[in-house]
Each structure stands twice: as structure tokens, then as C-alpha cells.
Structure 1
């Protein structure tokens, strides 16, 4: 970012090194001192007068904005650079070989791009500060339930978590909680089909009451019960049009304006829960193994990209790539080939939280 400090440093370097260079060409000391003084005065006047010349000021501002956006885009693209450590637990039971036999941990990959973004795993105090007074809505299928549970684990104590787990996992039901200590409200909406998500967006628009953070995801139920990737793609496009025309979308996550952008309301940060890696041999019913194949999953992922609902393809949603996270964690992180251990959703939650930190220019 080019500001007064940077321009001042640049001017100082010019004043220092240009006369030294000129001295190398055997100019007299008086000429060098005269040139140095004139140069310093010119630069000082230029720096102070820059704000009064709109074209110059706009140029400096535009360059500054480009640099900031480039940094943020780079950090957004690095959020999923995560490595896993999966090892046998101390109470490993070879007669009951399931995912609880393994300890899982994750961390952001060490690289220059990731290190410069300063991603961090947030503790309860940090999450409380970040989400203080916020309304978070999570809508979708069972993957969304697991995501909501992982988010709540960062703001609730053990007793509250047990109660939340029992209530949240009531079959095909919605869930609502207010965390009074931080004024945070969370709603889980059971919406297994993309059409359910579109209906939800329409409802939010009618009430003109919008969450601060909206996490959505669909595909598993569609794959199992409809089994038509093309129809899934059409439904995603309808959702995309509804989102971009009806909700006040956060500009950091969208390249398109919304119909309500002129309304004095807080914008909504949108995140999309991608499909998990499906391990066909581990799926627990014959119908799932028959319909939820690798070929079908790839076709659904292709339609997701074609729909341009994701931010990297020009859409409004920042991706939470459960597919890559579950793939990297591996077969020892799931018991049914579809739903993964909490560590996977925990990583997705921290990706979301760090994305919010990038948007808000915060460091905890």
C-alpha cells in the first residue's frame, strides 16, 4: 500500500542516493548540495500537494487498492493449503478398525504464500471476538449439520455442546441457538436440495432480515434421490441468480451487484460447502453404492463449476472445499465413506473464520 510513509521513504532514498551517484560523475560539492536541496524541496512539496490533485490522488488510491486486493486474493486461494497427520491412537483396537482408532491433526502448509497470510487456528476467545453479535445461518444436508456442530464447539462449553449435539441431530429438523455470552445467533436449516436453498433465499428477501454469515451446501441428496447432474446444474444456476439479485452480498465475495445493495443493511458473507470425497466401497447401503459412484460425483462437481456459483468462477460463494479436505485426511477419517470425522469440518470452520479475518482486515 502506497501511503505517506512509503512516499516519504522513497523521497529520502532519492535524496540520498541520486546526489551520491552524481558525485560519482565528478560534480562539484556546491552543485551537488544545490541539486540535493532542490530535489528534496520538490519531492516534499509534491507529497504534500498530491491530495489536492484528484488525478494523482486517484492513481495512488487505485494502485493501493490493487495491491490490497492482490494480497487478499492470494490469501483466499491459499486457505485450503492444509496438511494432515493421521496416526494410530494409543487405544487402537484391531478388532474394531474404524476411524476412532486414529488421531487426526491438521495444520497450514509451510510456504512463503501461506506464511505471509498468517493464518491461525482460533481459540474460543478469538472466535467470540470475531463472531460477537453475529447471526450465522448454516443450511443444507448432513454435511452442513456437522459443520454447524464444529462451529459451535468453538463457542460452547462441554455441557452446552452435549445438549446442542442432541438437538442438532434430530432427524430432518431445523435448529436454533443463541450464545448469550457473545450475542451470537446460529440457525441450522434442513435444506437437502438446492431448490430448498433457493426457497430459503426467497424467504430471507421477503422478511428483509439477513444473516451476517450464510453457509450453504447441497448435492448428496440430489445425487442419491434424483441422480441427474444436469438438473443439479440448472438448480444451482437458479440459486445463483436468486442470491445475486435478492441478497445484500458482501462485495469481497462477489463480482456482481445485488438488487438490495443500495439498502442500508449489513452485507452477507456467503460460503459454499462442497461435496465430500465419496468412498464407494464404504457406503452403507446398496442404493448409495449404485448411485453415488465416482463418475456421478465428478459429473456433479463439473456442474458446480459450470454454474459459476463459486467465487473463483465469478459467483458469490467462497468455497469451503470439503472434497479436498476429506480426500487429504483419507480413508481413516470416515466410517461410512460419506461423513467424515470432526477434524475435517473443524478445518473447514477455521478456513471460514480466517476468510472473515481477511475480509475484515483483522488479526487476532
Structure 2
């Protein structure tokens, strides 16, 4: 029989710190403490909160002084909790501090915190990656000033369309603070690959590959032939005048020897694109972002359902939408240069138009 006894919170925190130092996980620590002091002594969330503090280097477990104004004390405690875990819910904060949930929300609003969607970043940039991003942006910006080419540009990319679409979390950030960054979740097995090409006027050509099929160089070259026919039909001004300025990222099927030969045969000028730079790819920062927002939280039943959703999405976008996506590039080149090659925070933010 477990002996029920009164134990102060500060003592429990010292015990939790002891288990943390021993290398126990939060669940094990909670089970041991409740086994000794009673089943309701600590919750799993409470122990996880303190373990997160310890991992962040905060080991002060003493209660804050009770003197002074309670409102200021609550605000300080709320801010401290958020600094440890930006994903913590306002209800968890209220439970931890034993104050009303609305009080927590009011305090957060007053000090300027609001929930923002986390930003996905694709890669930890090396020094060479950063230098490539800066030098290529400088070259493209100068080229566009001398010979504007964005209305001749055809851009394309691939995107997995998943049947079950995960909604990104929101985390606390101040109004003038960038959203938190998180790695993209792993793709589910139920998915089909969308291959699409477009320009400032709209969609030129796309394919939705059969279920389970991926892209290789041979298939990509076949797609480029089909894209050429679509450009000749839908954009005869590109075929008959100065030709296509072609933009793609550095995925292997795009840069193989056979693909480079195919692009040379087509006579298209291929733009430079720095590696690991979706923030400089219009499909990633504009088209796919809007598509993902459209599909957010939707469950697709079949490939046919995917096709119908895509048709619905394309039907709702006018030429202005595509033109804005392409014409953002000069600003993004300049921002990359000004930020010394760092990723732009616009990756992952919602397309509201």
C-alpha cells in the first residue's frame, strides 16, 4: 500500500533533477515519484516540463519569491515556460501555474506573444552553400537588370501529394520575431508524385505519376519532350522568338548527363540555381506552398481524388497568382544577398492570396 503524504513542490523538483542526472526518462521518473508519494503527486506533462528545463541548462528548482505583484510574477513565469518550450499549450501553462486559462491568454497578448506556424528548413547550409547562394543571386540579379528574362522563364519541380495531409503546429513567438523552425515530417506511404511546369501566365504542363512510381533521368527526359510540345502549343511566343529560359532545382534527374544533353537538344537556356535553396524556387516558395495550404487537413481516398483536388486548386488560381510567384524572384535574390546567404523566413509561411 502506497503511503499518502504531503510533499512540497520544491522537494519534488529536486527529486526530478536527481532522476534527470541519473539518465532516467520523464516517464520513469513520474512512475517512481508517484509510486513513493502517491498516484497524483506528478503528471507526465509536469515531469516532461522540468526535464525540458534541465536539458536547456536551467537547474533552478526553487519557488519564485511570493512578494511583489502577482501579475508581474505570473507574466515572468509564463515567459520562462515558453522560452523552455515554444510548443507548450496555453492550457498546460495554466495548469502548471494553477491560474485561469484566460489569464494566461491575456498575459501572452499583453507581452506580445502569438502562435505562428513553425518554419521548415531543408538543410544546414555549409560555408560553400552560403557563398553559392550569394554569388548566384548576384549574377541573376545583374543579368535581369541588363536583360529582363522572367517573362521567358519556365519553372518546374516535383511534389509528393500525400493522401493524409498533416497540419503544421503553431508555436509561441513575439510579433516581431520569426517563427520557429522544424524539420519536415517523414512522408507517408500513401502518396503520388506531381511533376509540374509553369510560368508567369499559369500552368503549362503537369503529370501525376502512377501510384508508387518515382522520377529518374529517362522519365524526366520524356517529360521534357512532352513539355516542349505543351510550350509550342500554349506559349508559341517562347518557341518562335528568343526561346525558353528554363529553371529547375538540382535534383539528380534534373542534372544528370542525359538530362543535360536533352536540354541542350531542346535549345533552352538553363538558369543557375544554388543547391538546397527552395526559398529561391518559385514552385517551392509559392505554388507548392499554396497547394499544401489548400490540401491541409484533407484526406484523399484515391489517385482520382488527388487529380480532382488538383483540378479544383488550379481552377481557383488566376494569372495574377502565377505572375506574383515569378516576379518575387528579384526581391528574393536581393534578400539573400542582404542576409549573407541565410535562408529566407518566408519558407513555410502561408500563401494568403
Report the TM-score, using the length of structure 1 for normalisation.
0.23
Report the TM-score, using the length of structure 2 for normalisation.
0.24
- Larger helix proportion, structure 1 or 2? 1
